[in-house]
Structure 1
Amino acid sequence: MCPAEALRNGELGVRFQAEWRGVPAPAFAVRWEGRVHAYLNECAHIPVELDFNEGDFFDLSRSYLICATHGAYYRPDSGYCLGGPCKGARLTKLAVVVEAGMVYFLPDAIPD
């Protein structure tokens, strides 16, 4: 997907193409509290991408992922929606691993 150093805590994420249920789907990865987390790039409210500016997934406080269209905000580590039109819903989490300085998407693995 990308070099691990491309993802810094609470900063810009990296977009990538994932396969979800046999269909190509936009996805992204961010680093939060030292760990890399990846999700489908689709708001839990309606299926629009979260980032208006490419890779800009965090809110101004750099504490939450936010949908630029609806203002729904999510925990970066679980994708759980804390507020907005889809409160209580979740982003679709994807499995990733960091090995040898690179981040890899694991399409057949169950995310933690």
Structure 2
Amino acid sequence: MSVPAAGDAALHALCNSRDLTDGGMAVPFDVSYAGQTCRAFAIRYRGHPHAYLNRCAHVAMEMDWQPDRFFDDSGRWLLCATHGAVYEPDTGACKGGPCRGGLVKIDLKESDGVVHWRSQYPLCPVEF
């Protein structure tokens, strides 16, 4: 499942590329989804940035076990601290634990040392 992106969706700077390290801490941001302001997070996995709504597919609760920490100790899986659901970092697909479907993916683009996200309505511009 992906956040719908219109053909004319704007790119919004999220962070410098160096702010995302493989298996490291996430960069949080807000998006508009289904008429609500929702927290989202960006991570890097195997060299590529990925972003998702911070919402477990089992029950719509934020997943981080500590602020901006989603990876397990190995840096291989994204975990829901509340339910123990396990997700693939590159696709958001559920790979174990209680979940219905996968994480909601947010489109990212990385160029010239900056990670951008696509949305028609930026809610929290990021300054860096």
Q: Is TM > 0.5 for Structure 1 vs Structure 2?
A: yes
Q: Aligned to 1:68, which of 81, 87, 91?
A: 81
Aligned-partner residue type, residue 89 of structure 1? G
Q: Aligned to 1:50, which of 63, 67, 71?
A: 63
Residue range with higher mean Cα deviation, 71-80 or 17-26: 17-26
Aligned-partner residue type, residue 119 of structure 2? P
Q: List aligned pairs for 1:22-61, cutoff 5 A.
A: 22-61=35-74
2:9 is matched with none
Q: Which has the higher contact order (CA 8 A, sep 6+)?
A: 2
Q: Is there any run of 5+ residues in structure 1 with no aligned partner, and where?
A: none
Identity score, percent? 42
Q: Aligned to 2:108, which of 72, 96, 102?
A: 96
* Displacement of 1:18: 1.2
| TM-score of the aligned structures, taking structure 1 as reference length | 0.90
For 1:103 and 1:60, locate their aligned partners in 2 and report how far apart those are by CA, in whole Å: 25
Aligned residues, how many? 107
Q: Is there any run of 5+ residues in structure 2 with no aligned partner, and where?
A: 1-13, 121-128
> What per-residue deviation string (whole Å, max 9, x for no partner) do you get for residues 46-100 of structure 1?
01111031110101111000001111000000000100011x6100000011122
| TM-score of the aligned structures, taking structure 2 as reference length | 0.79
Aligned Cα RMSD in Å?
A: 1.2
1:79 is matched with 92
For 1:6 and 1:83, locate their aligned partners in 2 and report how far apart those are by CA, in whole Å: 29
For 2:119 and 2:96, locate their aligned partners in 1 and report how far apart those are by CA, in whole Å: 29
Residue range with higher mean Cα deviation, 12-21 or 43-52: 12-21
* Displacement of 1:44: 0.2
For 1:55 and 1:5, locate their aligned partners in 2 and report how far apart those are by CA, in whole Å: 16
Q: Secondary structure at the match of 2:119?
A: coil
